[in-house]
Amino acid sequence: MKYLSYTIEDFLTDDTFINYCKGAPAGDVQFWNELKTQHPELATNMGQAEQLFVLLSLGVDPQMKVRELQKLQAVIEQQEDNNHQYPRAVETVAAPRRMFSKLRVAWFSSAAAVLLCIGTYAILQRNNGSTSPIPLANIKNNNGIYKTGVDERRTVTLADGTSVVMNALSTLEVDEHYNQQNRVLWLNGEAYFQVAKNKEKPFIVVSGKTTTTALGTAFKVNNYGNNGQVSVMLGTGKVSIGRVSGSEVAEALQLLPGEMVQVSGNQDQYARSTFDVSEIDNWTKRKISFAVASLATIKAVLKQTYGVEISSINQPKKPIAFTGDFENESLTEVLTAIGFSNHFTYTIDQDQVVLRFDQ
CA distance 338 to 325: 11
| Boundary residue ending a domain (119, 143, 174) | 119
CA-based torsion, 206, 212, 215, 216: positive or negative: negative
* pLDDT of 66: 55
- State the DSSP string of 171-206: EEEEETTBTTTBEEEEEEEEEEEEPPP-TTS-EEEE
Which of 119, 140, 173 finishes a domain? 119
Predicted confidence at residue 122, as pLDDT, reads: 33
Q: How high is the pLDDT of residue 143?
A: 63
pLDDT of res. 79 = 53
Q: What confidence score (pLDDT) does residue 337 get?
A: 94
- Note the pTM of the prediction, 2 decimals: 0.62
Give the pLDDT confidence score for residue 304 in this predicted structure: 87
Question: Is residue 126 situated within a structural domain?
Answer: no
Residues 266 and 102: their CA atoms lie apart, in Å, by 45
Provide the CATH number for the domain around residue 305. Answer: 3.55.50.30
Q: How high is the pLDDT of residue 259?
A: 94
- Burial of residue 279 (number of CB atoms within 10 Å: 0-12, 13-18, 19+): middle
Per-10-residue mean pLDDT for the chain, 359 residues long? 76 79 79 86 81 57 54 57 46 40 45 37 38 48 81 93 94 88 90 92 88 89 78 93 77 88 75 92 93 94 91 92 94 94 93 93
Cα 179 to Cα 158: distance, rounded to the nearest angstrom? 9
CATH number for the domain harbouring residue 215: 2.60.120.1440
Shared domain check, 142 and 95: no
Residue 315 falls inside a structural domain: yes
Domain count for the chain? 3
Domain boundary residue, one of 231, 251, 276: 276
Regarding whether 260 and 292 lie in a shared domain, the answer is: no
In contact, 234 and 255? CB cutoff 8 Å = yes
pLDDT at 63: 54
Same domain (yes/no): 151, 264:
yes
Tell me what pLDDT residue 140 has. 53
The predicted pLDDT at position 98 comes to 41
Which residue range(s) make up the domain with 228?
131-276
DSSP 103-168: HHHHHHHHHHHHHHTS-TTSEEE--TT-EE-PPPP--EEEEEEEE--TT--EEEE-TTS-EEEE-T
Give buried/exposed letters for 306-321 (b at 16+ CB in 10 A, else e).
Answer: bbbebeeeeeeeeebe
